[in-house]
Structure 1
Amino acid sequence: MDIRRLTDRYAVAPQLDPQDMAALAEQGFTTVICNRPDDEVGPDHASDAMAEAARAAGLDFVLNPVSNGGMGPAQITAQAEALAKADGPTLAYCRSGTRSTFVWAFGAAPVMPVEDIVARAGEAGYDLSPVVPQLRALAGQGGAQG
């Protein structure tokens, strides 16, 4: 598994396998968020199979599919709410971890400095520079300085 931590409580990864869930629980994760739509994967990696494996490992599982075509306020809000409800570290996954990073960044912008968001994503290997103007606009709405 290629786990990349963005904060103490949030990490992202490329596509997981069902058998990865037990290892995630052993590493202290309590919640897994699937940002990959079922139409991008086969049955062994569909959300039902992944949810079953996560629950068998004692993990909470949240389905919040984000398509390659983009994300909207519903996905951003769902991701932020899942993080707020999690009772421990959360790992989100998609094909490469990029969508999981972007959806987190948009949700974090109102409460975290944009420079910190961009730096943490960059340290994890994800380039948020194309969306910095949108992050700054969201930061202005929430009062965070960025």
Structure 2
Amino acid sequence: MFRQITDSVFASPQIGIDAIAEAKALGIVRIINNRPEGESDDQTPGEDIEAAAREAGIDYIAIPVTHSGFSQTQVDAMEQALAVDGPVLAYCRSGTRSTLLWALARAKAGDSPAVIASKAAGAGYDVAPIRQLIEMLSARG
């Protein structure tokens, strides 16, 4: 279920409470929820995942991303959320928004767009829809 993007970053489709044990077994230290609450009737509420994560000793942060796109505030928040000592798991409906937000945060930090695209592709995600933005952020980084 969890797709490994880098040694310390995993992306996933919507998780449930049962996924917390798997995250703990992988050494995940922070879960990042990139899904807005109430996006679909079948999603596990973020507060339930947060409670289970914290009970398991895993930090939890919500950086909701709607289908309308990404803001600088979200990119900055993701960059800060990734700056932790240990692996993180980011999730949304399919894992795509989480991966794209990771890509933007890494571009802002100055990572190579080609390397970002390759790592995302290795996990089964395509950054082509935001490649131009990745190039721009990387050039500024």
TM over 0.5: yes
Q: Which amino acid aligns with 2:93?
A: R
Cα distance in 2, alignment partners of residues 130 and 42 from structure 1: 27
> SS of the counterpart of 1:105?
helix
Q: Point out where structure 1 has 5 or more consecutive residues left out of the alignment.
A: none
- Structure 2 partner of 1:36: 35
Aligned counterparts, 1:90-101, within 5 A: 90-101=88-99
TM-score (norm 1): 0.91
Aligned counterparts, 1:11-26, within 5 A: 11-26=10-25
Cα distance in 1, alignment partners of residues 39 and 69 from structure 2: 14
Q: Which of 86, 92, 104 pairs up with 2:102?
A: 104
Provide the aligned C-alpha RMSD in A.
1.4
Cα distance in 1, alignment partners of residues 25 and 13 from structure 2: 19
Cα distance in 2, alignment partners of residues 43 and 51 from structure 1: 17
Q: Structure 1 pair 59/42, CA: closer, same or farther in 2 (3 Å)?
A: farther
Aligned counterparts, 1:1-146, within 5 A: 2-42=1-41, 45-84=44-83, 86-110=84-108, 111-142=110-141
Cα distance in 2, alignment partners of residues 104 and 122 from structure 1: 13
Cα distance in 1, alignment partners of residues 123 and 139 from structure 2: 25
Deviations 1:104-135 (A, max 9, x none): 10110132110000011111111112221111
Q: Which amino acid aligns with 2:111?
A: M
What is the identity percentage for the equivalent residue pairs of Structure 1 and Structure 2? 37
Cα distance in 2, alignment partners of residues 80 and 73 from structure 1: 10
TM-score (norm 2): 0.94
Cα distance in 2, alignment partners of residues 42 and 18 from structure 1: 16
Q: Point out where structure 2 has 5 or more consecutive residues left out of the alignment.
A: none
CA contact (8 A) 2:92 2:98 kept: yes
CA contact (8 A) 2:12 2:94 kept: yes
> SS of the counterpart of 2:90?
strand
Q: Which amino acid aligns with 1:92?
A: A
> What number of residue pairs does the alignment pair up?
140
Runs of 4+ in 1 over 3 A off after TM superposition: 41-44
Cα distance in 2, alignment partners of residues 43 and 97 from structure 1: 16
The structure whose residues are more often helix, as a share, is 1
